[in-house]
Chains A and B, each alone.
Chain A
């Protein structure tokens, strides 16, 4: 895994949209973690060795002190969803973050869930 900072990466591109791509390219694809746009993630550890992580990953962990979806992480940090998935997948496989799959991928929607959704909407 590309744990070492590539020299010059910091200054490689100032465009916040481009830079994450540079970072993500160094990652192995097809690792075990399959994230959905609405997988909910949370930071798992208090002791974060920031030197071992990409700066974007540190920002992701800071944001994930409270549960967030992949889409929310992407929107808040202005990093494309595909890149967030790669960075988070790495964090999860290294034990820095945990994820929960969307409801409908775990099991079909039950009547109880539909009722809960209805109640939640009515409470708005």
Chain B
């Protein structure tokens, strides 16, 4: 097992917690991570092995090739003992095997809905519902795109009445903070009312 030592030579080893930022291609995931992160978003590459590709056969991916998946993430230091990581999850369905690992132990998720193509966030909504991971939907209002009200998005995505929906601008830190706060409050509410 991993050692649980949290104090070393006077230096604390903080524990980490994570939140996922999901949504369709180009929905603003990296932008949101960047606007709230204390570091410029980092990117880590994962190479899909043949075994992982097997999961993907249904999607028609050739099993013998390898693909590189880039994951970007940011960091928010909460205190000496806790660090929050925000992971932008690759939107395409064929990377879902990664979502399984990413979702494991996550505090919750933000689904970014792109007003130009609302349907691209369906897979993310489905995934989090199925995995019972608390999530909020942040509607990223792109210039010139149709405007929706929160209620319209709630309806269009058939969201449960308790799932918070917020309008946001992923480029603006205060807006990103409001989205993360809504998520943490939602997680707290769900804890208060055990299913």
CB distance from B36 to the nearest CB of A (A): 6
Q: Evaluate contact between B16 and A38: CB separation under 8 angstroms.
A: yes
* Tier of interface size on chain A: 35 or more
A40→B4 contact, CB < 8 A:
no
Which of A3-11, A49-57, A105-113 faces chain B? A105-113
**Most chain-A CB neighbours within 10 Å: which of B8, B43, B185?**
B8
Given A99-B2, A104-B106, A38:B85 Cβ within 8 A = yes
Contacts of A114 in B (CB 8 A): 184, 187-188, 191
A119 to B79, CA, bound (A): 10
B107 at the interface (CB under 8 A from A): yes
Q: Is A29 part of the binding interface, using a Cβ–Cβ cutoff of 8 Å?
A: no
Q: Tell me if A30 counts as interface (CB < 8 A to partner B).
A: no
Verify if B76 is at the interface (C-beta below 8 Å from A): yes
5 closest Cβ pairs, A-B complex: A120-B78, A75-B42, A104-B105, A38-B16, A74-B44
Residues of A within 8 A of B106 (CB): 104
Whether A100 contacts B15 by the Cβ 8 Å rule is yes
Residues of B within 8 A of A102 (CB): 15-18, 105
What string of 1s and 0s marks CB contacts (under 8 Å) between B80-98 and chain A?
0011110100000000000
- Contact, CB under 8 Å: B16 / A69: yes
New A-B contacts (8) at CB < 8 Å, excluding given A38-B17, A117-B184: A71-B71, A72-B75, A75-B43, A80-B47, A99-B13, A106-B15, A111-B188, A121-B76
CA distance A44 to B79 in the complex (A): 22
CB contact list, A1-50 vs B, under 8 A: 17, 32-42, 44
Q: Which of A75, A99, A109 contacts B107 (CB 8 A)?
A: A109
Sample 16 A-B pairs with CB under 8 A, ordered by A number: A34-B1, A38-B18, A67-B11, A72-B42, A76-B42, A80-B46, A100-B5, A100-B16, A101-B4, A109-B187, A109-B191, A114-B191, A116-B78, A116-B79, A121-B180, A124-B36
Instruction: Tell me the bound Cα distance from A73 to B47 in angstroms.
Output: 16
In the docked arrangement, what's the CA distance between A114 and B101, Å? 22
Which residue of chain A is the closest to B176 with respect to CB atoms? A124
Once the chains bind, are B13 and A42 in contact (CB under 8 Å)? yes
Q: Complex Cα distance A117/B76, Å?
A: 9
B77: Cβ under 8 A from any A Cβ: yes
Interface code A72-116, partner B: CB below 8 Å = 1, 0 otherwise?
A: 101110101110000000001000001111111110010101101
Q: Does B146 interact with chain A (Cβ within 8 Å)?
A: no
A117, B17: Cβ atoms under 8 Å? yes
CA distance A117 to B83 in the complex (A): 9
